[in-house]
Amino acid sequence: MAIVVMILAVIAWLFVQAALADAGQGPRSRGSLRYQRRKAAKLGLDPADVEVRPRGAGPDSIEPVGRSVVGDLAFGLGFGLLAIVLMFGGAFVLMAMKFPPDAVWVWFGVVILATFVLNKIRRSG
């Protein structure tokens, strides 16, 4: 069962990463972070204030795609799978700690409500 939960967590993480990549927020590599720190030290600035373009990019950085069906689907599937993992993981923890079954249903409700609120926040912003 633990392997199934781990696989679902990895799949959820991949869907969330796809949604972030669709929004133009790719993961940073150690090389680009090192380059940013060296460039900031050379200019005498804080590393957060130095812009680093991706390798091979033109004079302007790539603009994010914005809202798209693929991004919404990836975000929804990712957080849906994450909610399922949290639901069943939390249920097993609550049952192992000998909580009554009513606590498990409350936990399910909390996770579903949190997923709904996160999705509403994302859609509004």
pLDDT by residue for the chain (125 residues), tens only, comes to 667 777 777 787 777 777 766 666 665 565 667 787 888 888 888 887 877 766 555 555 555 556 666 777 777 777 778 778 888 888 888 888 888 878 888 888 888 788 777 777 776 65
C-alpha span between 66 and 59 (Å, rounded): 20
Distances (CA, A) of 59 to 5, 23, 62: 44, 20, 9
How many other CB atoms sit within 10 Å of the CB of residue 49? 9
Res 83: pLDDT: 79
pLDDT of residue 60: 54
Q: What is the pLDDT of residue 66?
A: 61
